[in-house]
C-alpha cells in the first residue's frame, strides 16, 4: 500500500465510522454542537496519530501477552495530556465534553488501529495511518456537529445563523429531535446509506 | 356505468420501450382502477376477492366516521373558545377547510416519496400509504404547521418504512413514527396544555385550552365529563376525540376481519387492568381516576382500534397478539399515570410494543415447538413401550 493511501482511504472506502463502524459512541455523544465536535475531532486525531507512532516504535520490544496493557498505558498517558491542555486553554469546551475526553481511551478507533496496524508496521506509515483515521473520524464528527447544531439549535459555532436570516419571523422552528442522540444515530445511518450507494463494492451480498 | 373507455385508455398508454421505467407508476394507477386480470400461478396462496388494495380501502372507510366527527369538532371547539354561535354546518365547514390542507400535504409528500422509491427500486407502488397518509393528519393537533407535517411525513416514510424495504417490511407503524417525530422535534405544538384549538382559518396561532390529558398531567381532575369524552366534544388531536365514531370504524374493521379482535380486546383489557391496579393503590388524583376514563381520554381508543391492529407491525401469532395487546394497554396507562413528562402514553407504548412484537412471536413459536417436541417424545415412548 502506498503511503498516500494511508491518508486517503480512511476518508472514503475505509472510514472508521462509516465502514469499520468504530467510535460511534462518542460521535453520538459530542456532536450536538459544532465546537465540541471539532475539539473532540482534533483530540482524537492527535491521540490516534501519536499512540500509533509510539506503539510502532515499541512494537518489537512489547511481549505479545501484555501488549494490550502497554497500549492502554500509552493511550491513557496521551489522553491525560490532551485533557490537561484542554482544561488549561479551553476550559468551557472541556467542561462541555466532560467525561468524553477521558473516554477517548476506550474509543475503539484508537485500540483498533494499534492492534490492526501499528503493532505490525513501521513508524512512518503508522503515523500516517493514525492521522488518516483521525481525520476520517473528524470529517463525520464535524458534518454531524454542523447539521445538528444548525437544525437543532439554529446556531453555528454559537453564532445565531437562523435568527440573523430572519427565519423565525416566518414561522420556522428549531428541530428538538436533532439535539437528541437518537437523531445522530439516524444521521450516521443516512450518511452510511449515501456512502454505500456511491461505493457499490462495499455492499455485502 | 360503462368503464370500457377507461380500460381501453389504460391499455393504450401502457408504458413500453423508453418509457418502461415508468412501469411501477402505471401499474399503481391501473390496479387502483381495475382488479388485475392475472392470478397467482405458483405456490400456495390464499385466493380471495380481497387483496391489499381492497383491505386498505376498507380501513380508509372505517376511518371516515372519526374523520368527519373530527372536522366538526375542530369548528365546534373554535366556536366555543371564541364565544360565537355557529351552526352545525358552519362548524363542519370550518373544520373541513382546516383538515383538507393537512390531508393534501400528507398524501402529496408521502405518495411522491413512495412513487420515487418504487421507480428507483423497480417495484410496484404499495397501497399501504393510502391509510397511513390519512392517519397522520388525524392524530396530530390541528394547529400543527403544514411544513412540520410535511417533514414528519417524509421522515416517517423514509426512516420508518423505506429504509427497511417499504410497506410490509417496516417494524414500526409509520403514522406513529410521524407523530413521534413531531412530538420530539417540535414539543411546543404537541404538549397538549394550550395549543390545540384553531384560532382562525389560515393562521397557526392558537387559543389557550387544555386537553383532559394536559389537565391530569398538571394534577387536576379533567373538566370534561365522561359523556363529553365518550361523544368527543373535547380538545385533542384532530380526529381522536370521539370514542363513538371510533367504535363505528372498529365495528367495520372487526366485521370484515381486517383488524384482529384479539389485539383490540386485549389492549382495552390491559389498560383496564392497569387502571384498576392504580385505583387500588389510589396514591394521587390520577391514580384514583375511574379506570374507564383511560379509554375515553386522549388517543387510547384510536390507538387500540387503528394503530395497534396494524397487521404489519403487530404480533402475528394468536398467543402473541394477546400478550402484545395486553402490554400496550398496560404500558399506555402506566406512562400516563407515572410519567408527567409524557401526558399521553399510547403512542410510545404502541411504538415500544412494535419493537417487541417479533420477540414475542419468536418466544411463542419456540414455546410451541418445545411443547410439540415433548408430546412427540411421549408418543414415541408409548409406542416403543
Task: Work out the end-to-end distance of chain A between its first and last CA atoms, rounded to an integer number of angstroms.
Answer: 26
**More confident: A33 or B226:** A33
The whole-number pLDDT of residue B30 equals 74
Contact between A175 and B185 using a beta-carbon 8 Å cutoff: yes
Searching chain B, which residue's CA lies closest to the CA of residue A153?
A: B185
Predicted confidence (pLDDT) at residue B195 exceeds the cutoff of 60: no
* Number of structural domains chain A divides into: 1
- Asked whether the predicted pLDDT for residue B287 surpasses 60, the reply is yes
What secondary structure does DSSP assign to chain A, as a single string?
--HHHHHHGGGTTT-TTTTS--SHHHHHHSTTSHHHHHHHHHHHHHHHHHHHHHHHHHTTTS-GGGHHHHHHHHHHHHHHHHHHHHHHH-HHHHHHHTHHHHGGGG-HHHHHHHHHTGGGS-HHHHHHHHHHHHHHHHHHHHHHHHHHHHHHTS-BTTB-HHHHHTTGGGT----GGGGSHHHHHHHHHHHHHHHHHH-GGGS--
Q: Is residue A7 part of a domain?
A: no
Interface probe with A: pick from B178, B185, B190, B202, most Cβ of A within 10 Å: B185
Q: Is the dihedral of CA B28, B29, B30, B33 positive or negative?
A: positive
Q: Residue A125: inside a domain, yes or no?
A: yes
pLDDT digits (tens, 9 = 90+) for A47-67: 999 999 999 999 889 998 998
Looking at the partner chain, which of B147, B185, B204 has a beta carbon nearest the beta carbon of A177?
B185
CA-wise closest residue to B272 among B197, B329, B352, B353? B329
Taking residues B165-180, what's their average pLDDT? 86
In the beta sheet, which residues pair with residue B207? B197
Contact A175 B204 (CB under 8 A): no
> What residue numbers bound the domain in which A54 lies?
16-194
Map grid coordinates 428507483 to a residue: B120
Please state, in angstroms and rounded to a whole number, the distance separating the CA atoms of residues A179 and A177: 5
Does residue A10 form part of some domain?
A: no
Give me the pLDDT at residue B209, please. 59
B185 contact A CB<8A: yes
Nearest CA-CA partner of A130 in A55, A50, A62: A50
A72 backbone dihedrals φ, ψ, rounded to 5° = -60, -40
Q: Taking the domains of chain B in order of start, what are their residue ranges?
A: 21-32+52-371
Is the distance from CB of A87 to CB of A27 less than 8 angstroms? no
ipTM, two decimals, is 0.85
Using the predicted structure, report yes or no on whether residue B383 has a pLDDT greater than 90.
Answer: no
Mean pLDDT estimate for chain B: 82
A166 touches chain B (CB under 8 A): no
Record the pTM. Answer: 0.84
Q: Is A11 within the bounds of a domain?
A: no
Q: What cell was used for B181?
A: 417525530
pLDDT above 80: residue B194: no
Burial class (CB in 10 A: 0-12, 13-18, 19+), B10: middle
- What does the H/E/C string look like for A33-55? CHHHHHHHHHHHHHHHHHHHHHH
Residues of chain A positioned with their CB less than 8 A from the CB of B202:
none
- CB contact at 8 A, A136 and A10: yes
Res B210: pLDDT: 63
What pLDDT is stored for residue A108 in this prediction? Answer: 83
Query: For residues A137 and A45, is the Cβ–Cβ distance under 8 A?
Result: yes
Nearest CA to CA, how far is A190 from chain B (Å)?
A: 9
Would the CB atoms of A178 and B185 count as touching at under 8 Å? yes
Torsion of CA B127, B128, B129, B131, to 10 degrees: 110
pLDDT in tens, A103-155: 888 888 888 888 888 888 889 999 999 999 999 999 999 999 999 999 988 88
Q: How many CB atoms lie within 10 A of CB A169?
A: 8
Cα-flanking dihedrals φ and ψ of residue B81, to 5°? -65, -35
**Which pLDDT value is given to residue B203?**
47
Report d(CA B40, CA B371) in Å as an integer.
35
* Structure confidence at residue B93 as a pLDDT band (50, 70, 90): confident
Confidence at residue B47, expressed as pLDDT on a 0 to 100 scale: 52
The answer to the question of residue A1 being in a domain is: no
- Under the banding of pLDDT at 50, 70 and 90, the label for residue B58 is confident
Distance in Å, alpha carbon of B284 to nearest chain A alpha carbon: 32
B317-376: pLDDT as tens digits: 999 999 999 999 999 999 888 877 777 788 899 999 999 999 999 999 999 999 999 988
Distance CA B199, CA B204 (A): 7
Rounded mean pLDDT, B141-154 = 89
> Pick the residue with more confidence: A200 or B60?
B60
Give the mean model confidence (pLDDT) for residues B69-89: 83
**Mean pLDDT lowest for which of A145-149, B55-59, B300-304?**
B55-59
With both helix axes pointing from N to C terminus, report the angle between A123-152 and A181-198 in degrees, rounded to the nearest 10.
Answer: 120
Grid cell locating B323:
400478550
Report pLDDT digits (tens) over B14-41: 776 667 667 777 777 777 677 666 655 5
Nearest to B32, CA basis, from B66, B64, B1, B7: B7
Mean pLDDT of chain A: 87
Which of A166-175, A182-191, B178-187 is the least confident region? A166-175
Interface check for B352 against chain A (CB to CB < 8 A): the answer is no
Confidence of residue B204 (pLDDT cuts 50, 70, 90): very low
**Interchain pair A175, B186: CB under 8 A:** yes
Segment holding B197, helix H or strand E: strand B197-198
Contact A171 B184 (CB under 8 A): no
**Residue B14, phi-psi category: left (phi > 0), alpha (psi -120 to 50), beta (remainder):** beta
Amino acid at each position: 500500500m502506498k503511503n498516500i493511501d494511508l491518508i486517503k482511504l480512511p476518508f472514503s472506502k475505509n472510514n472508521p465510522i462509516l465502514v469499520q463502524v468504530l467510535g460511534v459512541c462518542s460521535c453520538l455523544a459530542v456532536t450536538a454542537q459544532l465546537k465540541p465536535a471539532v475539539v473532540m475531532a482534533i483530540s482524537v486525531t492527535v491521540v490516534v496519530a501519536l499512540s500509533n507512532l509510539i506503539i510502532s516504535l515499541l512494537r518489537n520490544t512489547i511481549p505479545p501477552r501484555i501488549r494490550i496493557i502497554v497500549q492502554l498505558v500509552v493511550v491513557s498517558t496521551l489522553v491525560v495530556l490532551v485533557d490537561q491542555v484542554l482544561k488549561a486553554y479551553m476550559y468551557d469546551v472541556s467542561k462541555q465534553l466532560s467525561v468524553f475526553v477521558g473516554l477517548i481511551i476506550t474509543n475503539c478507533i484508537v485500540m483498533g488501529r494499534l492492534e490492526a496496524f501499528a503493532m505490525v508496521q513501521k513508524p512512518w506509515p503508522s503515523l500516517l495511518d493514525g492521522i488518516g483515521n483521525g481525520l476520517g473520524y473528524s470529517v463525520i464528527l464535524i458534518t454531524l456537529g454542523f447539521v445538528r447544531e444548525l437544525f437543532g439549535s439554529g446556531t453555528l459555532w454559537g453564532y445565531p445563523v437562523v435568527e440573523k436570516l430572519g427565519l423565525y419571523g416566518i414561522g420556522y422552528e428549531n428541530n428538538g429531535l436533532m439535539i437528541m442522540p437518537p437523531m445522530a444515530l439516524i444521521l450516521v445511518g443516512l450518511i452510511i446509506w449515501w456512502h454505500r450507494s456511491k461505493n457499490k463494492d462495499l455492499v455485502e451480498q | 356505468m360503462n368503464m370500457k373507455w377507461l380500460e381501453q385508455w389504460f391499455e393504450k398508454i401502457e408504458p413500453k420501450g423508453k418509457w418502461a421505467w415508468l412501469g411501477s407508476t402505471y401499474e399503481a394507477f391501473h390496479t387502483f382502477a381495475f382488479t388485475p386480470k392475472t392470478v397467482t400461478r405458483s405456490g400456495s396462496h390464499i385466493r380471495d376477492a380481497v387483496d391489499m388494495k381492497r383491505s386498505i380501502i376498507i380501513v380508509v372507510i372505517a376511518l371516515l366516521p372519526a374523520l368527519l366527527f373530527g372536522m366538526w369538532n375542530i369548528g365546534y371547539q373554535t366556536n366555543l373558545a371564541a364565544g360565537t354561535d355557529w351552526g352545525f354546518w358552519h362548524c363542519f365547514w370550518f373544520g373541513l377547510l382546516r383538515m383538507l390542507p393537512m390531508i393534501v400535504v400528507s398524501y402529496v409528500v408521502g405518495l411522491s416519496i413512495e412513487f420515487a422509491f418504487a421507480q428507483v427500486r423497480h417495484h410496484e407502488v404499495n397501497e399501504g400509504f393510502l391509510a397511513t397518509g390519512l392517519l397522520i393528519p388525524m392524530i396530530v393537533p390541528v394547529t400543527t404547521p403544514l411544513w412540520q407535517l410535511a417533514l414528519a411525513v417524509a421522515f416517517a416514510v423514509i426512516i420508518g418504512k423505506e429504509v427497511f424495504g417499504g410497506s410490509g417490511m417496516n417494524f414500526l407503524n409509520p403514522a406513529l413514527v410521524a407523530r413521534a417525530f413531531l412530538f420530539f422535534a417540535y414539543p411546543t405544538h404537541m404538549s397538549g396544555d394550550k395549543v390545540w384549538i384553531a384560532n382562525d382559518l389560515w393562521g397557526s396561532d392558537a387559543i389557550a385550552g387544555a386537553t383532559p390529558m394536559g389537565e391530569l398531567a398538571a394534577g387536576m381532575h379533567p373538566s370534561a365529563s365522561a359523556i363529553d369524552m365518550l361523544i368527543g366534544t373535547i380538545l385533542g388531536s384532530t380526529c381522536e376525540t370521539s370514542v363513538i365514531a371510533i367504535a363505528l370504524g372498529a365495528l367495520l374493521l372487526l366485521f370484515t376481519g381486517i383488524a384482529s379482535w384479539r389485539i383490540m380486546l386485549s389492549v382495552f383489557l390491559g389498560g383496564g387492568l392497569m387502571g384498576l391496579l392504580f385505583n387500588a393503590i389510589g396514591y394521587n388524583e390520577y391514580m384514583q381516576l375511574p379506570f374507564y376514563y383511560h379509554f375515553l381520554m386522549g388517543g387510547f381508543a384510536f390507538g387500540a382500534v387503528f394503530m395497534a391492529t396494524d397487521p404489519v407491525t403487530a404480533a402475528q401469532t394468536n398467543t402473541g397478539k394477546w400478550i402484545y395487546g395486553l402490554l400496550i394497554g398496560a404500558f399506555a396507562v402506566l406512562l400516563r399515570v407515572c410519567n408527567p413528562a409524557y401526558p399521553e402514553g399510547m403512542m410510545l407504548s404502541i411504538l415500544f410494543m412494535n419493537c417487541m412484537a417479533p420477540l414475542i412471536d419468536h418466544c411463542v413459536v419456540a414455546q410451541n415447538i418445545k411443547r410439540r417436541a415433548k408430546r412427540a417424545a411421549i408418543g414415541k415412548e408409548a409406542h416403543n413401550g
